[in-house]
Structure 1
Amino acid sequence: MTAPDESEEDGGLVARNRQGDNAAPLSITEISNMLKRVVEDRFGFVRLRGELSGVKRAASGHLYLALKDENAVLDGVMWRGSAQRLQFSPEDGIEVIATGKLTTYPGRSKYQIVIDSLEIAGEGALLALLEKTKAKLEAEGLFARERKRALPFLPRVIGVVTSPTGSVIRDILHRLADRFPSHVLVWPVLVQGQGAAEQVANALRGFSALGVGGPIPRPDVVIVARGGGSIEDLWSFNEEVVIRAIAASTIPVISAVGHETDTTLADYAADRRAPTPTAAAEIAVPVRADLVATVADLANRQRRAVLRPVELGRERLEARVQRMPRLDQLLQPHSQRLDDLGERLRRGLMDRAGRGREQLAGTSARLSPALLRRSAGDAQRQLERVRLVPELVTRPIERKREALGALARLAQQFHPEEPLRRGYAIVRDANDKALTSRALAAKEAALVLQFADGRLDVVPADAPPPPPPSPRKRARKPAADSSRQDDLFG
């Protein structure tokens, strides 16, 4: 009997079943599946703490990342449904706590964690993420002071982005009603939890998209408000999507998130920060009573400014009137002078009359009939010495006669009936008015042609026949009318 071949003991070229060995060889898939089951059964629920690294979001929406510490690295995957529920944006360097189960990936002979939830590991890590996000957005200029816009002094419409069921909206409405009642548009959103950041960003973009004069009035200012809470409760207002929506808003934004000691990145991006939602309402509108009082005060000042010159003028006038003399004082010297002149006039007239009477008496004494006859004789002799020449009278009369004759010849030449002797005629209407154009003559039903030797009644060819005269008119018309007119102008 021969000894067994060494190849059978130590392994040969072709695999054979060994004596007493009943274990069949496993395929790679089989062993991978076995390992997968063992790992998933043993580590079906784990919570891991580590730093995010290599965060990448695929086009499908799945999130791929790695968790690491000082000595080890573990790959991880978060499916799209779970990734959409994240309350923060995963970034490299954030320390997190991942909850899920361990599994294997046969395609690469690797094990990994399938993450169901991802949370920031403690407030310190959350603040580190906050500072990182703040530095990133600040480097982009989203918090720059020159980007801040002035708020309208008196907005007609105020938009509010907040929860419609909380006390914040009631505080804002109550404060607005106390200070200055305004038209308020509320865009209801979640203010914490999953999807809150996206709703707030969509509300800001929605207000900016409203057109002027549309069915929904466009706000003049927008208040983003939320009550106080922990940093986790306010985290939605630290999300990058909200900050970018505030910076891109075409409407001035007031941030009123939390209480006075709470600070979010929304406060840095907004045009104005309010310590509380109630303070945001106070910043948005002035006090109506103060405005009414200011307007009334300005009206009073305007009235006083208008009346002040009048009052000053009245005071000056009264002062000058007091310094002016009275009317009787002004007239008294003139009245006295008038009396003096009247008396002087009376005495002057009496003296003049007396002197005239004396002069007349002296003259009448010198008048005598002989003197009058002597004066008349002297005048008679002077008249006889003057020679009267007839030409002095006849020459002007002759010149006037010649001028009168020239005027008579000119009048005869321009007499309106003078052309009739040369064969012309004058066309007259029924009222004996001369007609100077064919158009006027065509409108008349009857015409009268005046010649040098008399008149002739005619009818235009294109005129309608005149109505027959009434018997009364024929009785009144004299039979020898045409002869009478001829005698008038002949």
Structure 2
Amino acid sequence: MSPENSAAFDASGRLLAQEPVGDNAPPLSVSELSAALKRTVEDRFGHVRLRGEISGYKRAASGHVYLCLKDDNAIIDGVMWKGAAGRLAFAPQDGIEVVVTGKLTTYPGRSKYQIVIDRMELAGEGALMQLLDKLKRQLAGEGLFDADRKVPLPFLPRVIGVVTSPTGAVIRDILHRLEDRCPTHVLLWPVLVQGEGAAAQIAAAVRGFDAMATGGVIPRPDLVIVARGGGAIEDLWAFNEEAVVRAVAECSIPIISAVGHETDTTLCDFAADVRAPTPTAAAEIAVPVRAELLATLTELGLRGGRAARRGLEHRRERLTMLARLLPSPEAVLAIQRQRSDDLGERLGRALRHRVALGQRQLADAGGALRPALLRQRLERDRARIDALRLRPELVQRQIVDRRAKLDATWRLALSLDPRRPLERGFALVQAGGRIVTSAGAARDAGAMSLTFHDGSVDVVAGEGVERPPEKALSSAPKPARRDGTGASRQHDLFAPPTE
């Protein structure tokens, strides 16, 4: 670039940064400027109080709270660290006007300024009532205040649980009133009734009573009283917290809410089963008057006695009136008595008649019993007995006849024995478990078994075996015997041998 062009460019606009002649202010970095602004803002506004409406409320997972405070014309970011957020006496919500105390600082990462909040309070009673009304509408919409959720109180509770401060006058008033009306076993669950952590303790106490087991070492209450003395709305705010209201609404034990004076109203009163104007009134609602109970029992006993006596007298009068309508015993029994006398007289005559009749029957029967007839009948029966008497010769004759028949039967059985022909030289031919009775069957069978009287021999039938001369096997044939008809009769193999 020529010197002429360089001079022209420098006159219209500098390309390189150069320190003007006589200027002793060096340029600052962004970080230096941000740090200077941060120091200036924190030194100038180290402690401020701001009033504004909450917008964009958000609690991070770390426990820090981020929000914006705004009015009609401006808005400022705010941050509340975890430690300060845990000390809040109420639950911040969008739209609530608050007064915060803290210090201003900058956030160089985004070139923004913000307030670090150390304390947050509601901006007057109007903001508190606005928050209360909003929470009330939310819980009512969930049905926590419905009448069908309420349960009746026990008439005479044996154990009463009280959730209140152990050092206040409330517990003494409740105990004194219970002692005067009807002495009852009381379990106290000590809690804080205002300030930081009060709502959590009250909710834990109500849930603790509800979690007690029936029949345990510590008896389970039949009734719970949540009580606190009077005070400003911010003093009673713990009983408006959502955790307390939900614990009271979900408790299965009947609860009486006795928070503040008669004109004070909290959300706990709407969730409880019964609201008492004062703690003393809660004790009066919880139990009846013992003296009145005794008087009532005495009166009921007297009334019961009078009613019993009156009923007895009434029934006695009715019995007397009914007895007048009944006939006399003499009138009722007159007919039966007369009938009894008549039957008594008839019984005597009937007995005498029956005796006379029996005598006549006996006389008739006795006439037929003559000694001659009896002796004749006796002789006839004796003759019959003699005829039926057994004679030995008849029995012996029958024995001889039976023995002869038995011998003949035994000889027949011996003649039919299949082993007797085998002793005379005959053989039993078998093939395959069957008896062979012909030569053709023997040739067809082939292998056979010959059974003799002293054992068996296996043989095979064949056509090539030479037969010995017939005269060598037997003697000359004898002439066949013929019967009277002239026919030849073959000898029976199984016939008994002739003598």
Tell me if both proteins adopt one fold, taking TM over 0.5 as the criterion. Answer: yes
Q: Deviations over 1:28-70 (max 9, x none)?
A: 1111111111001111111111111111111111111110001
> What amino acid sits opposite 1:130 in the alignment?
L
* Secondary structure at 2:235 match in 1: coil
Match of 1:104 in 2: 106
Change in CA separation of 1:286 and 1:397 when aligned onto 2, cut-off 3 Å = farther
* Secondary structure at 2:100 match in 1: strand
Match of 2:371 in 1: 393
Q: Deviations over 1:421-450 (max 9, x none)?
A: xxxxxxxxxxxxxxxxxxxxxxxxxxxxxx
Say whether 1:222 aligns with 2:230: no
Say whether 1:284 aligns with 2:262: no
Query: TM-score w.r.t. structure 1 length?
Result: 0.65
CA distance in 2, matches of 1:169, 1:51: 40
CA distance in 1, matches of 2:372, 2:69: 153
Give the one of 92, 95, 102 matched to 2:94.
92
Match of 2:243 in 1: 241
The structural deviation recorded for 1:206 is 1.2
Say whether 1:294 aligns with 2:296: yes
Q: Deviations over 1:373-397 (max 9, x none)?
A: xxxxxxxxxxxxxxx9997333357
Give the one of 207, 212, 215 matched to 2:214.
212
- Aligned residue runs from structure 1 range 318-357, under 5 A: none
Q: Deviations over 1:346-394 (max 9, x none)?
A: xxxxxxxxxxxxxxxxxxxxxxxxxxxxxxxxxxxxxxxxxx9997333
Match of 2:72 in 1: 70
- Aligned residue runs from structure 1 range 12-31, under 5 A: 12-31=14-33
CA distance in 1, matches of 2:367, 2:227: 131
- Aligned residue runs from structure 1 range 115-194, under 5 A: 115-194=117-196
Give the one of 50, 53, 70 matched to 2:52.
50
The structural deviation recorded for 1:403 is 10
Q: Deviations over 1:212-235 (max 9, x none)?
A: 122222111111100011111111
Deviates more, 1:175-184 or 1:5-14: 5-14
CA distance in 1, matches of 2:100, 2:126: 17
CA distance in 1, matches of 2:375, 2:148: 111
CA distance in 2, matches of 1:111, 1:30: 16
- Aligned residue runs from structure 1 range 443-482, under 5 A: none
The structural deviation recorded for 1:299 is 2.7
Change in CA separation of 1:397 and 1:122 when aligned onto 2, cut-off 3 Å = farther
Change in CA separation of 1:400 and 1:259 when aligned onto 2, cut-off 3 Å = farther
Match of 1:306 in 2: 308
Higher Rg? 2
- Aligned residue runs from structure 1 range 197-208, under 5 A: 197-208=199-210
Query: TM-score w.r.t. structure 2 length?
Result: 0.63
CA distance in 2, matches of 1:243, 1:53: 26
> What amino acid sits opposite 2:140 in the alignment?
E
Match of 1:424 in 2: none
The structural deviation recorded for 1:13 is 2.5
* Secondary structure at 1:308 match in 2: helix
The structural deviation recorded for 1:284 is 1.2
Change in CA separation of 1:397 and 1:116 when aligned onto 2, cut-off 3 Å = farther
Identity of aligned residues (%): 65
The structural deviation recorded for 1:240 is 1.2
> What amino acid sits opposite 1:31 in the alignment?
L
Change in CA separation of 1:159 and 1:10 when aligned onto 2, cut-off 3 Å = farther
Change in CA separation of 1:199 and 1:42 when aligned onto 2, cut-off 3 Å = same
Match of 2:256 in 1: 254
* Secondary structure at 1:244 match in 2: helix
* Secondary structure at 2:370 match in 1: helix
The structural deviation recorded for 1:23 is 2.2
Match of 2:483 in 1: none
* Secondary structure at 1:55 match in 2: strand
CA distance in 1, matches of 2:168, 2:133: 29
* Secondary structure at 1:207 match in 2: helix
Match of 1:429 in 2: none
* Secondary structure at 1:247 match in 2: helix
> What amino acid sits opposite 2:225 in the alignment?
I
* Secondary structure at 2:92 match in 1: coil
Change in CA separation of 1:402 and 1:5 when aligned onto 2, cut-off 3 Å = farther
> What amino acid sits opposite 1:393 in the alignment?
P
The structural deviation recorded for 1:287 is 1.6
Structure 1: give runs of 5+ residues left out of the alignment. Answer: 325-329, 331-387, 405-490
* Secondary structure at 2:161 match in 1: strand
Q: Deviations over 1:284-333 (max 9, x none)?
A: 11122222222233333333333334334555678999999xxxxx9xxx
Change in CA separation of 1:140 and 1:389 when aligned onto 2, cut-off 3 Å = closer
CA distance in 2, matches of 1:142, 1:302: 45
Structure 2: give runs of 5+ residues left out of the alignment. Answer: 331-365, 383-499
The structural deviation recorded for 1:247 is 1.1
> What amino acid sits opposite 1:395 in the alignment?
L
Deviates more, 1:165-174 or 1:2-11: 2-11
* Secondary structure at 1:185 match in 2: strand
Change in CA separation of 1:38 and 1:315 when aligned onto 2, cut-off 3 Å = same
Change in CA separation of 1:390 and 1:117 when aligned onto 2, cut-off 3 Å = closer
CA distance in 1, matches of 2:251, 2:37: 54
Q: Deviations over 1:171-228 (max 9, x none)?
A: 0111111111111111111111111111111111111111112222211111110001
Instruction: Provide the alpha-carbon RMSD of the alignment.
Output: 3.4
